[in-house]
Structures are given as C-alpha cells and as structure tokens.
Structure 1
C-alpha cells in the first residue's frame, strides 16, 4: 500500500503563510518606481542690489537656503553673485543676530555675546577635540582605524564649526559671507549688466538645463524669453515679483525660499516640466511640404480628398520609387 498523502499536503500548506508575505513584499518592492534624483544642471546668478534677502536673516544663511532651493531643481553647477563695490546690506535685528550668529554649531547652545561663545568653544570643544586627536595618535593597528571611524563625525563637526568661527572673526565685507556659502563673487560697477552678459554666455554654452535668476530687473525679460522659447532652458526667478516672474517658468519670493516652500514645490514643478516635454514630442505638427488637393468626380458621389507629400501620393512611403509596383 502507498503511504497516506496527508503529510505531503500539510507541508506546503504550513509553509505558505510564511512565504506569502515575502513574495508580496518582493512583488511590491519591484513594481514600486524608485525616486529619481534630479540630474539637470542648474546655474544660479544673483544680483544682490536688485534682489535683497530679508533683513532678518544673515547673508550666509540666505545663500545656503537659496542653494537648497536650487538643488531641488537639479545639480548646481554654477553659482555667481554680482556686487557693487560700495553696496551694503541693512543691519540685522538684535534678536535674530543673537539667535543665529552666536550659536554654537557643536552643541547647539545660544549665547548673547560673541566673546562668551568663543570662551565656551575654547574651554570645552577645543579641549575635547585635542583629547580625541591624542587618543587616535596613541592607538595602533586595527584599533586606530576603528577609533578614527567612530570619531570621524565629531571631528568633522568640530572642524566645520571652527572654520565658521574663524571666518566670522575677520568678516569685513559681503563677499566673505558669500564665499563661505560657496558662491563666486564678482565686483562690478553695473551688476545687472554683468549678470545679463554672464547669463547669455551660459545659454550659448548649452551646458545647463535650468537657469535661476535672483533679480527683479525688467531688463531680464528678453533673456528669459530667449531661454524658454529658443534654448529650451527652464527658468526660475527669485525675488522678482513683477516683470521677470511673469516671463519665467516659475517664480518665488524670498519669503518662500527662506521658509522652504520653494524647495518643497520643486518636485511637482519638475514633474510638470517633464510632462510638458513628453506632450511636445507627441503633438502633431503641420508640415508645409504637404499639399492637400480636393477633386470632384464627374458622378455625384461626393468630393475625393487626395494628399500629396513632396510630389508623391499619400499612400506611398519614402522608400518607394517612382517605378515601384505591387508584385502578386
């Protein structure tokens, strides 16, 4: 006699509940589209006299938040600011200065005076940094490698905070703040003309897909029209709520950039741009070489429509010659 089949039936049934979630998870993970990182090259050109950041925010922080908004549209390849040599920004309010400038970037403590912050930094964080370096130097072999990897985050945080304090100690102009934010500074007697010339050079090179202009000058309208209609470059205007913003693809105010609204709106705006490009490739276009002829038969059957394309009947392909015929 053959053995009963009940054990054979129970085994796959017992294993099904444990395998089913794995199969569903793999199926759902494979069908879910991966989030694509923006690869469009972005150029940021800033006229500081024509578009000033809010007076309640330091220039360094404003430049950093501007770069965060630009990075949402793609990879920032170029960032330049055009400044008049005698340009000065209004002084910051005391409340914001105490909350932002006198902030310890290591532990997050706030201080009313800058001298108090420096004494705190030297007395606590500088000593801790020295001890960490001494521990790494005294270690050997694999222990040194593991210890350096474990302390790498703290070491980099301290070095970054020390660079900011050192740069702020000898801060003498607006260019220093912008250079700290990795913005190339160009001094010009006519910043608007320099910005327009630089934007024209960038468009002629064809190396970018998105142009962000931080300006409110109406003289940039022809440049925006050139970028959109002829060059196929997306345009973003920051700080120009009047003329330039109406001709750009999208415009943001400084308040939206500082609050992070521009950064949140960038993915949806980029999605609309991609959909528009797809529709342009799919839309029908009229060809001037096509000729449509209406002929009327002798009988009263109606009107016959004949379309001739470049001297050939509409039913013949381009590969067909004049002597082509159907072989039966």
Structure 2
C-alpha cells in the first residue's frame, strides 16, 4: 500500500493565503502606469544681485528649494551663482527675527530664540555625538567597522547641523550658505555680464535641454530668444518685470519657496514632451513644382524624339484623331 498523499495536497492550499496578497500587489502595480522621470539636462544660472530670495527665509533654504524645483524639470547638469565680492546679506529686521522660528536639524524641535536652540544643541546633541565617537574609538576590529557604519548617518547629520549653526552666526557671507547647498559660487564685479557670457557658452555648446535663469533683468531677453531658436526650454525665476513673458515658463520666488514650482514642474515637462511629439508629426506643405519638372525631363529623355517629330509632320494640317486610312476610304466612297 502506498502512503496517502493528503499531506501533499494541504501544503499548496495552505500557501494560497500567503501568496494572494503578493499576487494582488503585483497586479495592482502592473496596472498603474509608471511615472517617467524627466531626463532633460538643466542648467541653473543665478544672479544674486538681480534676484534675491525673500529675506524671511535663510539663503541656504532658498537655494535648496530652488534646486528641488530644477530637479523636477530634469537632471541638473550645472548650478552656478554669480555674486559681487562685496555683497552682504541684509540683516533681518527685529520683527522678522522675533517672528522667525529656529529649527533643530537633528531632532526637528522648534525654538523661538536662537540662544535656546544653541543651549539645546550643546546639552543634548553634542553630548550624544561625543558618546558615539567614544564608542567607536573604544571598539576594535570588525566591531569597530560595523559600529561606524551603523552610526554614520547620525554622525553626518550632526556635523551638517553643526556647520549650519556655525555659518548662521555670520549672516554677512552668502558664499558659504550657497556652497553648502551645492551651488558653485563665482565672484564677479559685474554679475549680470558674467551670467550672460556663461549662458551664451552653455547655449553654444548645445549640451542642455532646459535653461533656468534666476534674474529679473531685461537684458536677458536676447538669450531667451536664442534659446528658443536652438530648441532649448527656458525658465525664469524672479522675473516679475517683463523677462518671464519671453520664457516658456516663469515662476516667482514665492512659488519656489512655497513648493508650487516643484509641483508644477512635472506637468510642464510633460507638456513639453507632448509638444515635441506633435511637432514631429506635424504635416508640412512642400511645393511639387520641382518634382513635376524632373518628371517632364525624365519623360523627354526616355521617349523617342525622332518618332515624335515624324508623327507631327504627318498629321500637319489634319485633326489629330484622323489617320491616313480615313482619308483614303473617304475618297473611294466618293
């Protein structure tokens, strides 16, 4: 007698409830269309003298939000800001300083006064950071490597927050805040001229598909026209005067700070893709006169010119539909 196979039948049936959620999840994810990330190369050029972010927002936060809006349009290939060597950030007003909220970048707590934030940072996070470093120093071998890898995220977060607090103590130097936001800083006596030259070089290279100009000067209108001729999309930030009407899209600093520019960027890039597809499929009228001339020439070359001349000589003085036989029969009948 063979053993019963009932135990073999129960295992697949028991596995169905565990496999059912995975199957449903795979079906639901396969039905939903995948959102394609934009691959357009974006160049961000910023004239800090001509277009300043709101004074109520730190320059570092404004640069980060501008970078997020640019990354929503595509992959940022170049991000550069032009500032004057003697440029200093305006000191915040007492009312704005009193109304501003200081955020701890480690734990996320909010404080009304900067001194309270510094005391909190030194009393809690500085001590925790020292303890982590002591644990790493006291360990040896593989345990040291594993512990350093496990605490690397917390160590980097603390160091970044400490650099931000140190840089905020000297609000007069904007270059440090911009470099911390991963923006290349170029000191120039004439920032607007340097921005125009750099934008001209980028457009002549033809290596980008979108040019974002953060400036409000009307002298940039020829650059926007050149970008349109070369098929490069243009975005203007802070050009409330009249520069934004020459660009494909224009955003204000308020929209960038509030995140509206970042949310609108995917729809803008999808419209650009649809417009490019329609241009490729667009019907264009082409004159066929040249083609007709070519056909006549080919027909004349392929035909027998001698036969044409002889036929014209014989039918001279007669209608073209009458032949020689028709004339002879008419004579006989008479």
> For residue 187 of structure 1, what is the aligned residue in structure 2?
187
Q: CA–CA distance in 1 between the matches of 2:271 and 2:175?
A: 36
Are residues 183 and 192 of structure 1, via their aligned partners in 2, closer, same or farther at CA, if it must alter by over 3 Å? same
Per the TM alignment, residue 89 of structure 1 is displaced from its structure 2 partner at its CA by 4.1
Cα pair 1:98 1:110 within 8 Å, conserved: no
Within the alignment, does 1:61 sit opposite 2:88 as a pair? no
Per the TM alignment, residue 40 of structure 1 is displaced from its structure 2 partner at its CA by 1.5
**Superposed counterparts of 1:67-106, under 5 Å:** 67-94=67-94, 96-97=96-97, 102-106=102-106
Per the TM alignment, residue 22 of structure 1 is displaced from its structure 2 partner at its CA by 5.7
Are residues 141 and 88 of structure 1, via their aligned partners in 2, closer, same or farther at CA, if it must alter by over 3 Å? closer
Cα pair 2:91 2:171 within 8 Å, conserved: no
Are residues 57 and 22 of structure 1, via their aligned partners in 2, closer, same or farther at CA, if it must alter by over 3 Å? closer
Are residues 22 and 123 of structure 1, via their aligned partners in 2, closer, same or farther at CA, if it must alter by over 3 Å? closer
> For residue 232 of structure 1, what is the aligned residue in structure 2?
231
Provide the secondary structure at the position in 2 that maps to 1:243.
Answer: coil
Cα RMSD, aligned residues only: 3.2
Within the alignment, does 1:284 sit opposite 2:267 as a pair? no
> For residue 131 of structure 1, what is the aligned residue in structure 2?
131
Cα pair 1:56 1:93 within 8 Å, conserved: no
Q: CA–CA distance in 2 between the matches of 1:30 and 1:189?
A: 56
Q: CA–CA distance in 1 between the matches of 2:57 and 2:99?
A: 10
Are residues 255 and 176 of structure 1, via their aligned partners in 2, closer, same or farther at CA, if it must alter by over 3 Å? same
The superposition leaves residues 205-240 of structure 1 with CA deviations (integer Å, 9 ceiling, x where unpaired) of 111111000111111111101101x21111100111
Are residues 182 and 25 of structure 1, via their aligned partners in 2, closer, same or farther at CA, if it must alter by over 3 Å? closer
Provide the secondary structure at the position in 1 that maps to 2:239.
Answer: coil
Are residues 245 and 128 of structure 1, via their aligned partners in 2, closer, same or farther at CA, if it must alter by over 3 Å? same
Cα pair 2:101 2:112 within 8 Å, conserved: no
The superposition leaves residues 121-167 of structure 1 with CA deviations (integer Å, 9 ceiling, x where unpaired) of 23321221121122233334554444334323222211111221233
Provide the secondary structure at the position in 1 that maps to 2:182.
Answer: coil
Within the alignment, does 1:175 sit opposite 2:158 as a pair? no
Per the TM alignment, residue 20 of structure 1 is displaced from its structure 2 partner at its CA by 7.3
**Superposed counterparts of 1:156-305, under 5 Å:** 156-228=156-228, 230-288=229-287, 290-291=288-289
Q: CA–CA distance in 2 between the matches of 1:95 and 1:218?
A: 34
User: Runs of 5+ in structure 1 lacking a partner?
Assistant: 1-6, 293-307, 317-321, 324-328
Are residues 310 and 150 of structure 1, via their aligned partners in 2, closer, same or farther at CA, if it must alter by over 3 Å? farther
> For residue 153 of structure 1, what is the aligned residue in structure 2?
153
User: Runs of 5+ in structure 2 lacking a partner?
Assistant: 1-5, 303-334
Q: TM-score, normalised by structure 2?
A: 0.75
> For residue 294 of structure 2, what is the aligned residue in structure 1?
311
What is the number of equivalent residue pairs in this alignment? 290
Q: TM-score, normalised by structure 1?
A: 0.77
Q: CA–CA distance in 1 between the matches of 2:214 and 2:29?
A: 41
Are residues 309 and 83 of structure 1, via their aligned partners in 2, closer, same or farther at CA, if it must alter by over 3 Å? farther
Per the TM alignment, residue 62 of structure 1 is displaced from its structure 2 partner at its CA by 1.2
